[in-house]
Amino acid sequence: VILGGGVDQFNARTTNNSGDTRNLVDELIAAGFAYTSNRTALNALPGGAATPDKLFGLFRTSHMNVAYDKLGFTSPRPTNQHRPLADSTISRSSKR
């Protein structure tokens, strides 16, 4: 099982960066891995006896989204009433 980000390292390889121009996504699929590239496809994978034997999913070209962004939070804004000592306190009233 391989799940995460960094698809660029698999299918956008350059001689300069990776030393070769192989397409590892295609190679892994050819090697019998089930491939998913988004949450919907991952969740739609069959279960039980039809569960894939080998699974890899790459969901971002680089890093995965951090939770704070994924959940749609915005950075705290200081007010007169609440002046953070630094950009330091959790401050959030509602989820977008």
Partner 1 sequence: MTEKAIATLSKGGGPFVLMVEGASIDKQSHPNHAAGVIWDVIEFDKSIAVGRKFGASNSSAKNGQTLVLVTADHDQSMSIVGLSDVQNSRTVLNTRSISVYPLRNGNVFRAAYTNYATVAPSNAGNNTGEVSGFPDYVDGNGDGYPENTNRFRITVGFRTGNHTGSSVPITAEGPGAILFTGYQDQTDICWKMAKILSSNTAPLDELLKQTSKFSIVNQNY
Residues lying near partner 1 in the complex (CB under 8 A):
1, 3-4, 42-43, 45, 47, 51-55, 57, 63-68, 71, 73, 75-76, 81-95
Least distance between partner 1 and beta carbon 74 (Å): 10
Q: Would you say 18 or 73 has its CB closer to partner 1? A: 73
User: How is residue 65 annotated by DSSP?
Assistant: P
Q: Would you say 25 or 55 has its CB closer to partner 1? A: 55
Least distance between partner 1 and beta carbon 89 (Å): 5
Q: Is 90 left (phi over 0), alpha (psi -120 to 50) or beta?
A: beta
Of 43, 38, 35, which is closest to residue 11 (Cα–Cα)?
35
Least distance between partner 1 and beta carbon 50 (Å): 10
Q: Would you say 14 or 68 has its CB closer to partner 1? A: 68
Both structure tokens of 91: 């401050």
Least distance between partner 1 and beta carbon 42 (Å): 6
- Count CB neighbours of 76 within 10 A: 14
Q: Are 5 and 60 in contact (CB under 8 A)?
A: yes
